[in-house]
Structure 1
Amino acid sequence: MSAPLYDFSIPLFIRGLNTLSHIIKKGEEYANEKGKPVSELVEWRLTPDMKPLSFQVQTATDTAKNSIVRIVGAEPVVMEDNETTIEALQARIAKTIELLMAADANKFAGKEEAQVTFRTGPREHLMTGQSYITNFALPNFFFHLNTAYAILRSKGVPIGKLDYLTNFLTEA
């Protein structure tokens, strides 16, 4: 049975999280090379009024793992959003990838028109499964992945387009 919602979401989330892990690793290497405290990376921001790198990782991982919950009704996996080190952020990414890899594609089959309800701040949204994935989950995920990339790049981390795209260019 075909599961389009799975096919165009879960593999992209996994590839994106692998990219996130890779660019954070490059940020850590850069900090070490430049003698900057690695501990400060989690608080790096684009501007003072934007959320830090830690928030970008937390939100990207939440968006990916919550997609499983919202589409197939899986039990939510709570993560405390209290990561204060690069190691903790990397562990969170790895845990989310494990959850995504364990997701059963068959449970996504036929969920395109299923109702999905979720909140963003005080606002409640009602969408179909397909609208949720295409109009919220993927755009939100990529916003936070791109923001993490931009934060690292703005601080001088030598990452480029191929650091971002390499995981998306693989077949499997």
Structure 2
Amino acid sequence: MSSNIKQLFKGYLLQLESIVNKVPPELFSVSLTDDMFSLEMNAKIAANFVLRGYYPLLGKDAISLMSDERGKAAVVRQIIETRELLEKLPEIHNLDDSKVITDKAGFSEIQLGQSDFIHQYIVPNYFFHMGMVYAIAKSKGVPVSKGDFDGLHSYPASFSFVRS
């Protein structure tokens, strides 16, 4: 299976950064409910999933650039540093499903071939956490759109499919 995982992940990080840059600093501690991660933690986890996915494809232990530093500047810095680190890593041209990657999914240990690891574990988890960033921001009135999420859609500022 031919793939351009590095370019895909770099694009994902740019979209996350686009959303994060629109969020006022005071919203980084907000979560959807009391038992969920904050916008800040979801953004950090999303960015971390890129490295958590890419390093094992190289046959290396994943690293994390997450820090205890808090706030918008820390999140933006982590996203940028993740993108810069990814840029320096070797390109992966093919996923090899004979290579099994072991990781933890919550309290479960998973073992997946490279394709399933990326497509069934890393990408859905990345988008879950990015989706939480988007949802929290949107719920607090931040003017984010589907275009910020995917980098493709475009709508006028006043446009709405749903009129109230």
TM-score by length of 2: 0.83
Q: Which amino acid aligns with 1:126?
A: Q
Counterpart selection for 2:2 from 1, 4, 25: 4
Provide the residue aligned with 2:157 in structure 1: none
Gaps of 5+ in 1: 29-37
Provide, for residues 134-157 of structure 1, a one-character-per-residue CA deviation record: whole Å limited to 9, x for no partner. Answer: 110111111111111111000100
CA distance in 2, matches of 1:166, 1:78: 25
CA distance in 1, matches of 2:62, 2:33: 32
Using the aligned pairs only, state the percent identity. 27
Counterpart selection for 1:18 from 14, 35, 46: 14
Q: Say whether 1:71 aligns with 2:67.
A: no
Provide the residue aligned with 2:162 in structure 1: none
**Is contact 2:48-2:66 (8 Å) kept?**
no
The structure with the largest helix share of the pair is 1
Counterpart selection for 2:106 from 109, 112, 121: 121
Report the RMSD for the aligned CA atoms in angstroms. 2.2
CA distance in 2, matches of 1:162, 1:80: 26
CA distance in 2, matches of 1:4, 1:168: 26
Structure 1 residue 91 displacement after superposition? 0.3
Q: Say whether 1:84 aligns with 2:82.
A: no
CA distance in 2, matches of 1:111, 1:168: 33
CA distance in 2, matches of 1:160, 1:70: 33
1:20-169 equivalent positions in 2, closer than 5 A: 20-28=16-24, 38=25, 40-106=26-92, 109=94, 111-166=96-151
Seen in structure 2, the aligned counterparts of structure 1 residues 59 and 167 have a Cα distance that, compared at 3 Å, is farther
Q: Which amino acid aligns with 2:125?
A: N
CA distance in 1, matches of 2:94, 2:109: 25
CA distance in 1, matches of 2:127, 2:111: 21
Secondary structure of 2:35's counterpart equals coil
- Report the number of matched residues: 154
Seen in structure 2, the aligned counterparts of structure 1 residues 93 and 46 have a Cα distance that, compared at 3 Å, is same
Report 1 or 2 for greater relative contact order, CA contacts < 8 Å, sequence distance ≥ 6. Answer: 1
Structure 1 residue 101 displacement after superposition? 1.7
